[in-house]
Amino acid sequence: MTHHRSTWRNRWTFMLATAGSAIGLGNIWKLPYMIGVNGGSAFVLVFIACILVVGIPLMMTEILLGRRAQKNPFNGIEALAIEAKASPHWKLLGGMGMLTGLLILSFYSVIGGWVLYFITEATKGSFVGIEATQSTANFNNLLASPLTLLFWHTVFMCLTMGVVARGVNSGLEKANNILIPALFVILLILLGYSMSVGDMQAAYHFMFSLDFSKITPVAVLSALGHAFFSLSLGMGSVMVYGSYLQRHVSIARTTIYIALADTMLGLLVGLAIYALVFANNLAPNAGPGLIFQTLPIAFGHMPWGSLIATLFFMLVAFAAWTSAISLVEPTIAWIVENTTISRKVSATTLGFAVWLLGIAVVLSFNDWQHVKIIFGLNIFETLDKLTSTILLPLGGLLMAIFAGYFMKRDHVQDELNLDNRGFKLWRITNNYISPIAIIAVFLYLFGLVK
Ligand code: TRP
């Protein structure tokens, strides 16, 4: 069966879409609390190193796989394996990626729901004059109410599937063209405020002081996992977006812009948040609730606070939305390219399945709080750790090995189209440095090295 495949209108649109996938709750919700939980600057340092050494080369690899294959990750990797005379079973790597994306979406949508709820709270002026105890109590009340969580999880899921159902050209492009630039503008406003009233010096010290003694194995593991999460790597999001990319666009340059934008944005949000955290004597290691507990206090005391809070949470919701879309796109592309099922029907069915799993996540914050799956982790924590620290790095490792050791060198070079030095640099990082780094982390994880 041959299908007409749509492509992005131009390179800018691809950049916006991929940046839209990368920039999301990972930057705004997860990175800040992970920095706090993992000891501040030690984590930041390793995170930046992981982005440079593992993230950037691997993003290039994922785009090149997608563009060469011109297909969804499952059939795409299969086609590339056949072209390379390797086992067609490599397609299972695509399948694993699709599953990983759906697992991530199940909790991503619940957190996206928290954000939507906070937009409504902000518009109601609920934060005005609020103090720390009240803000924490508000957040805990939200977590204690399964029905509220379920309602907003449902809304978030419908928003996501609504765009996905419309398809790459009409849906994704339009959404991204408006949302990403808007997001940058709103962030600058927040940062400006934070600089004027927050404790920027303390935030800077917390995030960037060079203190190697604080680097722990757990921080390294979390930082590697988060580099994958933040850049949307290891499951096929970037691969499927790359498959819609025209031939003449430079993969290396596009990758570097996206990785820089994503990392900078995450760190700037971190600075803005920690400047507020320290100025208000809040705890940096509050965990997943960090931004939801601390920001309302700051918003509650600033002029125009309710308006700024509304804008901020809208920004986060937009960012989460464009990321969530990319978590399902590989699976949707796979269904649409292999069956006669329409985009609309597949989006609805898949959305429903992920929504069901999301209910378990909702309950893990209240009624099922004490249900532990493995290593004393509840359902949310299990899904988060399983995907970020195992499935994504494993997917990335296999993609790097496939592109580096199985595909023909000429074919890879054909897509990357780099000069000699650039190609060598990509090869060394893709074939040796990042696989070794990932394997080393895995060996540690399974207790094989100490
Ligand atoms: N990168 C997004 C964020 O930071 C989340 C995301 C979208 C993602 N697509 C992905 C994470 C693919 C891992 C893999 O919020």
Tokens of 199: 């404790």
Cα–Cα distance measured from residue 311 to residue 313, given in angstroms and rounded to the nearest whole number: 6
In angstroms, what CA-CA distances link 362 with 93, 174, 199, 347, 386? Answer: 29, 31, 35, 22, 17
Rounded CA gap, 275 and 280, in Å?
9
Separation of 409 CA from ligand 1 center, angstroms? 29
Out of 176, 180, 237, mutate this one to test ligand 1's pocket (max ligand atoms within 8 Å of CB): namely 237
CB contact at 8 A, 32 and 269: yes
Ligand 1 atom 10: residue of nearest CA: 232
Angle between helices 132-143 and 146-166 (to 10 degrees): 70
How many angstroms is it from 327 CA to the middle of ligand 1?
7
CA of 125 to the centre of ligand 1 (A): 31
Residues 241 and 72: their CA atoms lie apart, in Å, by: 9
Nearest CA to ligand 1 atom 9: 232
**Which residues in the chain land under pLDDT 70?**
1-11, 168-177, 447-450
* Tokens of residue 86, six digits: 């390797």
26 lines ligand 1 (CB under 6 A): yes
CB neighbours of residue 441 within 10 Å: 22
Nearest to 227 by CA among 285, 180, 267: 267
> Is 237 close to ligand 1, i.e. is its CB under 6 Å away?
yes
| Ligand 1 touching residue 27 (CB < 6 A) | yes
Q: Whose CA is nearest to atom 6 of ligand 1?
A: 232
CA distances from 265 to 25, 32, 259, 406 (A): 12, 11, 10, 35
Any atom of ligand 1 within 6 Å of the Cβ of 235: yes
- The reply to whether ligand 1 has any atom less than 6 angstroms from the CB of 160 is no
Of ligand 1's listed atoms, the one at least distance from the Cα of 27 is 4
What is the number of alpha carbons within 13 Å of residue 232 lying toward its C-beta?
37
- Prediction pTM value: 0.92
CB 206 within 8 A of CB 200: no
Probe residue for ligand 1, chosen from 100, 110, 326 as the CB with the greatest number of ligand atoms within 8 Å? 326
Could you give the dihedral angle defined by the CA atoms of residues 394, 398, 403 and 404, in that order, rounded to the nearest 10 degrees? 90
Are the C-beta atoms of residues 94 and 236 closer than 8 Å to each other?
A: yes
Residue whose C-alpha is closest to residue 49's, from 429, 404, 400, 422? 429
